[in-house]
Structure 1
Amino acid sequence: MSNSRPLAGRVALVAGATRGCGRAIAVELGALGATVYGSGRTTRDERSEMDRPETIEETAELVDAAGGTGIAVRCDHAVGADVAALVDRIRTEHGRLDVLVNDVWGGDPFTRWVKGVWEHPLEDTLRIVRNGIETHLITAHHALPLLIETGDGLVVEVGDGKAGVPFRGVVAYDHVKEAVVRLGFSLAAELRPYGATALSVTPGFLRSEAMLEHFGVTEATWRDASDAHGGYFRYSETPHLLGRGVAALAADPDRARFAGQCLGSWDLMHTYGFSDVDGERPDWGVVDAEARAADPEIALPAAE
């Protein structure tokens, strides 16, 4: 294992690696030498309800290009049998799981903004909870026995915002995002006796594929939309800022000091001293704190 490839020989599962932070985390883990199983529902042959063009095969190819080994696996994390089969495959092919990143979401198509819980279609409300919380529990149930066997595994729950942020506008969405942060805390308590570390992370205002498309820009031209959302988009970040932070955590032998915490991409950036892929060092934590000091109930943009 070299300093440039500290994760060589390590095996990671990034659940929800099709796009956004999941894809970037998979790529950055690969850049440090890891073998990365990237799971999701959108393949080159079939799209999920998200109806986006990004595929898990593309993610695996990007992991390879970064220097790791990418393995794309079609998996619906709401289906226990799918997840069990995925973990069985990892055990058969590598016999270990060092890192589990739980980035499953898929609730966007079911979120009806500015709707009270009594107005929001109940089936959609329950689907948001199913996609955003139950998938994480199903994945943990099946994957943690293998991860525990390594003795020093890492579990990362990917959420949207730290605990205690103002109401996010839709009860189900708000509940899911808060629950993911708490899950990182709860898993830390359960895994501590086994030498494993669990925590949660959050990006800032994210320049995801969908967000760039929403504003009609690309990563090369995103500053043309810098006045969007009251000017907050100018403080946005690529998914790779969080990706580099998670990879740095995975390579940190002293990461247990963060067990149970929720770390922002900006916290990880300052701790490990890296920059975003464009060389910038955006600190959404500072922007968020200043905005809420002026207006505690301000509805800042969602991270994802």
Structure 2
Amino acid sequence: MNFKLFKLGAAAALTVSGASVISNLKPVAATTYKSAIKRVKISYLPGNGVRIWTNYQNGRFMGFRAKDGTEWNVVKTAVDKSGNLWYMVGDNEWIQARYTVDIASTASDLKAEKKSKSLLTKAKEAVTIKLPDKADKTDKKEETKTSKTAKASTKKTAEVATVATSTLNKESKESKNVSQSVDSVQGIINLAKEQVGKSYAWGANGPDTFDCSSLVQYVYQKAAGINLPRTTYDQVKVGQTVSINELQPGDLIFWGSTNAPYHVALYIGNNQYVNAATPEQGVVLQTLSSYYYPTIAKRIL
């Protein structure tokens, strides 16, 4: 690089705010030293220059200035009595360091800088080489995360499917039970009607002669496969108690109290019931009436 000195003509000097400023700078070639220890740039007032002195200690102004923004090789440094740092930039040519900024070191420092850059490049390459590993780890992490999410989703789906299946099975089972219940109730009604006309005898167990409780026991066992207790006293204790006003076909209806029921019949709907009434009546189909109204109702199905 060809560095320049600028010569100041005496007539060109003027004063601005008490400072000597150059209005006309003429470049003068400066010696470039291979033994330079660093390189600096003049950082002064734009368009102006820093004075160049013959010596850092009690030197005289040479009449030249180093222009703002120009670059200079520094071959030597020194500190004056006041503690100011000076740079030697030519043959007995000195400038104050405070008006400069370092650009780069030269000679051995430049070599060190080159080595430093080389190490930095290698470091960057090492980082670059490791980046795929990091990326792989990130990918694996994302893959693991995705896998976990997928597994969680699959698990959730499986749980939902299980719940849905369970619900469907339950509903299917309930539907099946309802269907079976309906079929059973209808079978009970049909079988009960078939017994109408048979005789009554207290303590008889059928199939041709019944008393009130044996008729109910026989019909439920044959039509629905449900084994009810033999006596009215025990039959009133099974099943779900329901209101007389909410009777459904297949319900058992009792007269008397829970502790002392004296008669039982099988409700078949439409306010009708089948029962083994008396020795004179036998098994008959009758209609509910206000003067002979049941007091208890039990739902078996």
Please give the TM-score of this superposition, normalised by the length of structure 2: 0.18
Compare the two structures and name the one with the higher helix fraction.
Answer: 1
Q: Counting strand residues as a fraction of each chain, which structure ranks higher? A: 2
Determine which structure has greater relative contact order: mean sequence separation of CA pairs < 8 Å that are 6+ residues apart, divided by chain length: 1
